Amino acid sequence: MNRLDKSVKITPQMTVLDVVSHYRKAEAVFKRYDAAAGECICCNALFDSLGDVADKYCLDLARLITDLEQAVRED
């Protein structure tokens, strides 16, 4: 990802696979959320949307997206 591109837009409709396939640094963010989820999100929810992941694991969707976008921008 270009360091000058600050317009990363991750949406609740994107799947976990969409996010990690486009943004490699996102995988580390999902790993941080694994403890709260109680399982590996990338292993068990790869084809789920971020909105569904947040609902399934009782995660704060806005915070998840913010954390993902921040990690991607730091790349």
**In 3D, which of 41, 18, 15 has the Cα closest to residue 30?**
41
Examine residue 56 and state whether it is found in any structural domain, yes or no: yes
pLDDT per residue, tens digit, the chain (75 aa), is: 444 456 779 999 999 999 999 999 999 999 999 999 999 999 999 999 999 999 999 999 999 999 999 999 875
Q: For residue 26, how many C-alpha atoms fall within 13 Å in the half-sphere facing its CB? A: 25
Examine residue 3 and state whether it is found in any structural domain, yes or no: no
**In 3D, which of 22, 36, 26 has the Cα closest to residue 70?**
26
Examine residue 5 and state whether it is found in any structural domain, yes or no: no
Examine residue 1 and state whether it is found in any structural domain, yes or no: no
pTM of the model: 0.87
DSSP label at 39?
S
SS3 of residue 3 by DSSP: coil
> What ranges make up the beta strands (E) of 2-75?
none
Domain count, the chain: 1
